[in-house]
Amino acid sequence: MAKMPLTQLSPGEEATIREINAGCRATKRLCEMGFYIGSNVKVLKNDRGPLIVSLSGNKIAIGRGLAQKIIVEYKN
User: pLDDT tens digits, the chain, 76 residues: what are they?
Assistant: 789 999 999 999 999 999 999 999 999 999 999 999 999 999 999 998 999 999 989 999 999 999 999 999 987 6
Residue 28: exposure state from Cβ atoms within 10 A (0-12, 13-18, ≥19):
exposed
CATH assignment at residue 55: 2.30.30.90
Q: Which domain holds residue 48?
A: 3-74
Cβ neighbours of residue 50 closer than 8 Å, sequence gap 6 or more: 61, 62, 63, 64, 67
- Our count of domains for the chain comes to 1
Residue 73: other Cβ atoms inside 10 A: 13
Instruction: With CA atoms as reference, report the closest residue to 46 among 17, 1, 73, 14.
Output: 14
Model pTM score: 0.90
pLDDT of residue 60: 96
